[in-house]
Amino acid sequence: MPRMSKGLPIKQRIPGVNKVILVASGKGGVGKSTVSVNLAASLNSLGKKVGILDADIFGPSIPKLLNLNGEPRLTDQGKLFPLSNYGIESMSMGYLVPPENAIVWRGLMVMKALQQLLFEVQWSNLDYLVIDMPPGTGDTQLTISQQLKVDGSIIVSTPQDIALIDAIKGIHMFEKVNIPILGLVQNMSFFCCPNCGHESHIFGSDGVLKEAKRKNFEVLGSIPLNEEICLQSDSGKPIVIANPQSPASLAYINIAKTI
Ligand code: ADP
């Protein structure tokens, strides 16, 4: 547990990690976990050593997205060894407790689990740790933003107004606690018909781009609504690994280059 100074927790670095990048969203279902794994895979393809920390205690998705399960082994000091696939290290509550058990947890237990995930994992000298945040602005976000030295955050939103409003709330929270915001990722920005090539803006057009411009935020990139992203995620192989040359993969890789 980090020490306190003048009532404020001291922000700590995660042992064995060079840069910590948060991937956050205002609401669930906008593709935040999918962006997290594909960014991790992209950074890996750019020659970086990468890990993912799944900070969603109640709804961990990283085990499925990386096709991993099983209990982590422990070091002699009782730290958790990450589980790895596709060259990406990962740690998730999903490896430690079946999700149906965690769901009945209350505040203190959740915070204790989070401390363990944050500070007691034996990462092996990573260039980047991508933290897949739970949606919204709850206790986990507050704990992470108060206790952890974070190098940058990425906010994922769809162009829909409601997702965007929630995303902006998340941005304000990060600004208040001095977490650098790298920029916004617009996910499911348009659908390109595989038959005729027509682009449909299913969730509205360019909502994120306009809002970002208005508020002076950087837009790191736009990811199309793409069936292959969904299918590959469901099969436990991120599209950037399964099909690195596809336009959707290149969109993720281009975002990773800006980090
Ligand atoms: P969140 O982490 O925000 O809750 P997920 O990453 O779990 O969202 O994504 C929700 C669903 O949307 C998943 O089924 C995922 O495969 C799908 N999905 C995410 N991004 C895209 C995309 N760009 N195109 C198609 N499906 C997507």
Examine the pLDDT at 6 and tell me if it is beyond 60. Answer: no
Phi, psi (rounded to 5 degrees) for 162 = -65, -40
Q: What residue numbers bound the domain in which 106 lies?
A: 17-257
Residue pLDDT, tens place only, 78-90? 999 999 999 999 9
Residues with CB under 6 A from ligand 1: 25, 28-34, 61, 187-188, 223, 225-226, 229-230, 233
Residue 74 is predicted with a pLDDT of: 96
Residue 103, pLDDT > 80, answer: no
Closest residue by Cα to atom 15, ligand 1, is 230
pLDDT surpassing 80 at residue 4: no
**Residue 1 belongs to a domain:** no
Q: Is residue 5 part of a domain?
A: no
Distance in angstroms (rounded) separating the CA atoms of residues 156 and 33: 10
Ligand 1 atom with least separation from CA of 25: 3
Which one, of 54, 86, 83, lies nearest residue 69 by Cα? 83
Residue 187 forms beta bridges with which residues?
223
> Does 252 map to a domain?
yes
CA of 34 to the centre of ligand 1 (A): 6
How far, in Å, are 23, 149, 182 from residue 56 at the CA level? Answer: 11, 19, 21
Residue 123 falls within a domain, yes or no? yes
Flag whether 119 is in a domain.
yes
Number of domain units in the chain: 1
The CATH number assigned to the domain holding 166 equals: 3.40.50.300
Q: Rounded to the nearest whole angstrom, what is the distance from the C-alpha of residue 225 to the centroid of ligand 1?
A: 9
pLDDT surpasses 80 at 208: no
Which whole number is the average pLDDT over 12-20?
96
2 inside domain: no
> What ipTM does this complex have?
0.99
Tell me if 12 is assigned to some domain. Answer: no
**Cβ pair 140, 169 in contact under 8 A:** no
- According to DSSP H, which parts of the chain are helical? 32-45, 62-65, 93-96, 99-102, 107-119, 139-147, 161-176, 207-215, 227-234, 239-242, 247-257
**75 in a domain, yes or no?**
yes
Ligand 1 pocket test, pick from 202, 233, 237 with the greatest ligand atom count within 8 Å of Cβ, gives: 233
Please tell me the distance between residue 169's alpha carbon and the centre of ligand 1 in angstroms: 21
